[in-house]
Chain A
Amino acid sequence: MSIKKITFRILRYKPGLIDPPQFQNFSIEVKPDMTILDGLEKIRLEQDTTLMYRHSCHHSSCGTCACKINGTESLACTTKIKDLKSISITLAPLDGFRPIGDLVVDISPLFTNISEDWSYLKNSENVKSSQMPEGIKEFKRFENCIECGACVSACPVTHKNKGFLGPAALAALSNELKKSPPKAEDLLSMAGNKNGERLCERALNCSRVCPTGVYPARHISDLHRVLKQK
């Protein structure tokens, strides 16, 4: 198994200690299939136990590990080191969220405009079953959006206009609209208000960086169309 030496250039930040933030280099030996998250774990365990980053599922379900990898918002857990094809990898926290420490940001503003009344479940569409099991009306699955914040960090509008609902919330709103027609009036008035869909500049960064194929920009266009027809 070939082992390579890689440098992780990590933007360190500890309020009052490493403040303003500054880059620190860590050199580690990596195996071919290691992910950025595996690399961070290795650095924490072998070099600095106080290195701060978020992680939980290690397979792109929880959404906690999003950060900027070589300048682009990505998930640390599913980005393979070898796919980056460089021996130096730069890691920085997401933009637009309050920094807490190293790669950790306060993600809570992402949830300000995603209501807990909006269902996290949807009908499952992939498997072509010709019958349903007893006791089950419809197969359900979790929504694609893992609430990672990558799209918000990549969106130019969220940085200029703090009020903007943002791509994740607008995508979630658009999904809820499809699932709950009776809520249409409230949802559309939210999407159509001064902080809503109209602020989108069609940069499409959100759809480019979304790790789970939510395509927020498409949802925003859908909302735009529905609102125009009204």
Chain B
Amino acid sequence: MEHIIIIGGGGTGAAIAHDLVLRGFEVSLFERGELLSGTTGRHHGLLHSGARYAVHDPAAARECISENKILRRIAPQAIEQNDGLFVALDEADLDYKPLFLENCRACGIPARELTAEQALALEPELNPSLKAAVQVPDATMDAWRLPLHFYATARANGARIHNFSEIIGFSQAEGAVTGIRVLDHQSHREYDVRGDLFVNAAGAWAGKICDLAGIQLPIQPGPGVMVAVNDRLTNMVINRLHKAGEGDIIVPQRKLTILGTSIWLADDPDAVELPKDHGPRLIELGAKLVPAVKKAEIHSMWCAVRPLIAQAEAKDPQEISRDFDCCDHKQRDNLEGLISVIGGKATTLRLMAEKIADLICRKTGRNIACKTKTKKLLHYRMFY
């Protein structure tokens, strides 16, 4: 079968490798550093129910709830399945609630209304002056171990996974990409690998990969800061019940509580520095939902870079869609053989992979169904 080359060893690359080997393709994946050392390992670990997107992006919300259910089944060891609460703190939040509930229901997201007393009985550290809450099936995923389940399974099924192997160029002939040039960081050797199709799954670095192929891709790196504080202050994921914005997500994990997040636009995904004021602001905003956040000791602070789809006119970065797109460069730039994945969320990694693999089937004239919806993944420890 055709040899498909995947560039980028994040969650998206992991899920694509898994899907393609199950469909019978020959698969090689190349990642410049350790696997999952880009954006994937660093996100909050929120396995979205979709509720966060229900009002302004119902298509993304539907994808989230359906993927949320699938991942709980196929990788249960990588998920703390404790649900989540959307918490209303003021009258404006209460005014937003009917629209939120209506949209959750329309998207098929179970949403259960709770009084303030009921919410406090579940989560005693919530702001005692909360007005109401809604329970939804959010969850916490292990941002490293969940995608590692995909790598373990893909490798067991024959995918060749190369870490510390950086793509530094493409070879092309007659308007088509025919191979990649790889720099092996261990041996410093450069070598070429030929393939039939090439998938650019380099996330926020996808634009740089396209530069190497001599084409342009409208990716705008959109970094965000997260703060982890010591102590697990809640068991459930906590969101503010309002239009999704800054500093309104709290994701408990192990013995930590992770506060997120902010957003700004950057030019280079490699040259992102932590802005000094974001951490304190996240703590301020997080403490509105869970006051104990303020007293907790800061454990760590870091950023991760979203691969956003660049918009023609300047826009509030919060408004840029988190949906994903697969882009066939034959159509876009008249360059055969290269496909780019743009945008997305860790929660929808499997679905993105399904769409990419469907496109690869169409391009190779094959009719093979996707098998990843029901196939239980191997435990991440099997990767080793």
Contacts and interface: CB of A to CB of B under 8 A. Distances in A.
A and B associate in one complex:
yes
Interface of A: 1, 14-17, 33, 35, 45, 49-50, 52-64, 77-78, 100-101, 104, 107-108, 110-111, 114-116, 119-121, 124, 126-136, 139-144, 212-213
B34 A55 contact: yes
Interface in B283-305: 299-302
Residue of B187, B301, B384 most packed against chain A (CB within 10 A): B384
A128 B379 CA distance: 31
Contacts of A115: 381
B204 interface: no
Contacts of A53: 34
A35 B228 CA distance: 14
Given A57-B144, A140-B80, A62 B187 contact: no
A59 B302 CA distance: 8
Contact of B118 (A52, A131, A136): A131
Interface residues of B, number: 61
Give 8 closest A-B pairs by Cβ, nearest first: A56-B41, A62-B144, A116-B379, A108-B384, A58-B302, A139-B235, A131-B121, A111-B384
B42 A58 contact: yes
A139 B80 CA distance: 8
Nearest to A139: B235
B142 A142 contact: yes
A54 B34 contact: yes
B300 A140 contact: no
A14 B188 contact: yes
Interface of B: 33-37, 40-42, 45, 77-78, 80-83, 112, 118, 121-125, 135, 142-145, 164, 166, 183, 185-188, 226, 228, 231-236, 252-256, 258, 270-271, 274, 276, 299-302, 378-379, 381-382, 384
Contacts of A126: 231-233, 235, 255
B187 A16 contact: yes
A133 B83 contact: yes
A121 B75 CA distance: 12
Given A45-B271, A131-B118, A136-B82, A120 B77 contact: yes
Given A120-B142, A212-B255, 15 more contacts: A49-B185, A55-B34, A59-B302, A60-B256, A62-B41, A78-B300, A107-B384, A111-B384, A120-B145, A126-B231, A126-B255, A129-B123, A133-B135, A136-B81, A143-B254
Q: Is the interface of B mostly helix, strand, loop or mixed?
A: loop
A2 B340 CA distance: 42
Nearest to A18: B188
Nearest to A213: B255
Given A56-B42, A57-B144, A116-B379, A129 B254 contact: no
Residue of B121, B188, B254, B378 most packed against chain A (CB within 10 A): B254
Residue of A35, A59, A110, A134 most packed against chain B (CB within 10 A): A59
A50 B184 CA distance: 8
Contact of B166 (A49, A64, A131): A49
A128 B236 CA distance: 13
A141 to B, nearest CB: 5
Contact of B77 (A33, A55, A121, A132): A121
Given A49-B166, A64-B34, A77 B135 contact: no
25 contacts: A52-B164, A54-B34, A59-B42, A59-B256, A60-B256, A60-B300, A61-B144, A62-B36, A62-B142, A62-B143, A64-B34, A78-B300, A100-B186, A101-B186, A104-B34, A114-B381, A121-B77, A127-B124, A127-B235, A133-B83, A136-B81, A139-B235, A142-B80, A144-B254, A212-B255
